[in-house]
A = this chain, B = another copy of it.
Amino acid sequence: MVGRRWSPEKMVFLSVGLVAETGRQNPPERDTARKRKTMANTTITAPRGFRAAAVKSGIKQSGDFDLGLIAADGICTAAGVFTTNKIVAPAVVVSRSHLRSGRAQAVFVNAGNANTCTGRRGEQDVQTICRTVARKVGAAAEDVLVCSTGVIGHYLPMARVRKGIGEAAGRLERTQRAGRELARAILTTDTRIKLSYREIEVGGRTVRVAGIAKGSGMIAPNMATMLAFITTDVGIGAALLQRALRKAADVSFNKVSVDSHTSTSDSALVLASGAAGNRPLSRAGIEYTCFAEALGGVCDDLARQIAADGEGARCVVTMRVTGAATAGEARAAVRAIADSPLVRTALHGADPNWGRIVSAVGYSGARFDPEALTCRIAGTVVYRRGRPSGFKAGALSEKMQGKDWSVEVDLGIGSKTDFCYTCDLSREYVTINADYHT
């Protein structure tokens, strides 16, 4: 299986059905403003047992929402996956440590300042945040998780942060509005909020899984590669929840590459309140599989939304490699293609330049059969068994002007596959990152 898609048939067969699903085609904020009133809540406040709030604390120079809280009614089972960068934000150090207990009750997040490379003072600021949040929401400091994203090397403006926490704690709500404002507060250069939602039945109870994410820049597949927050009201043991999240992240967040630069703050967190009332999942049976699929679907949705909203991106492209000798070689080939600026500028130009794709495979280190090597762009075979196929470049270029398509390369010597989600490299990416001054 390439690309973890939700499979309705499988769900029905397991007698644990999907009740509702949203995400993937999440339109920009403005388009849905009118519709919002009539829509059911599918934000992270939809699972039972969670409230959220976001405020404009003044950390972002734009004055937009930039600080938020998720507060659970009681202790939740919790799990997280984090960046593999050796330089990490103090928020990552503290959240990783707090998660060793397998539980959490609140999440603090801010955008605009990553609080990375800020030394001892940065660590103390995170401890202060945990204590302040804990006091305001009635939890223990060790049950607070912290995520910060934004510029590196600057201290957090703690007066604003403290004030913001107080304000947010006073505005915690279970509403859709609160959920959407939080989704907006975590953004940096993202152009739209990223939401995903699933409802399933587990043990006769309706279980809700909701997620939000931010992405855009400094995105490479090496653990979470961005921020994601997932709430669910399923009852589940901590080890099982961590296992489900790790597995879901490996085939979703870890498959997104915008610019092959792994951030110092990447975090994906899940809190499970147990408020759905199902008998808590404690082993990997059918009900766990059903929940894990829903969690995987939410993560996959969010990952694709991150790729589609990569800095300056015009299109999201799924790169697939099949026929590799080993999983490692499949991954090496897919990464070489997705990380090549020459390939990614060709995607931007809607140019079916298979030479750049095939030559990237050539230096990837993956073995392949030159006489079997085949490449397909947006459904059209452009290179078949080691030879150009003689396709119609004009017609294919038109297909490549679409927003969502794939590139597939068959190495022709084995059965291993891998994939990743990437986007085109545009002048706008350069503008955003050359002009984003420290």
Residues of A within 8 A of B (CB): 84-88, 114, 116-117, 119, 151-153, 217-218, 220, 222, 259-264, 339-343, 345-346, 348-349, 351-356, 358-363, 368, 370, 383, 386-388, 393, 397, 425-427, 429-431, 433-438
Contact = CB atoms under 8 A, between A and B. Distances in A.
28 contacts: A84-B363, A85-B359, A85-B363, A116-B359, A117-B383, A117-B386, A151-B355, A152-B355, A152-B356, A153-B354, A217-B342, A259-B340, A260-B339, A260-B340, A261-B341, A261-B343, A262-B359, A263-B359, A345-B434, A346-B433, A346-B434, A349-B435, A349-B436, A349-B437, A355-B438, A397-B437, A426-B430, A427-B431
A352 B438 CA distance: 7
B340 A261 contact: yes
A263 B360 CA distance: 8
Contact of A152 (B351, B359, B436): B359
A345 B386 contact: no
Contacts of A360: 261
Given A351-B438, A387-B119, A433 B362 contact: no
Which are the 4 A-B pairs with shortest beta-carbon distances?
A: A152-B355, A349-B434, A87-B362, A345-B433
B86 A433 contact: no
Nearest to A114: B355
A85 to B, nearest CB: 4
A218 B339 CA distance: 13
A433 B342 contact: yes
A263 B386 CA distance: 17
A127 B151 CA distance: 57
A435 B346 CA distance: 8
Given A117-B383, A351-B436, 19 more contacts: A84-B363, A85-B359, A85-B362, A117-B355, A117-B358, A153-B388, A218-B342, A259-B340, A259-B341, A259-B342, A261-B343, A261-B356, A264-B359, A341-B425, A342-B433, A345-B434, A349-B436, A351-B437, A355-B438
B87 A345 contact: no
Contact of A345 (B362, B370, B383, B429): B429
B427 A430 contact: yes
Given A349-B433, A355-B153, A427-B431, A261 B342 contact: yes
Nearest to A438: B353
A430 B425 contact: yes
Contacts of A363: 84-86, 220, 222, 261-262
Contacts of A261: 340-343, 356, 359-360, 363
Contacts of A352: 438
A430 B358 contact: no
A355 B429 contact: no
A263 B357 CA distance: 11
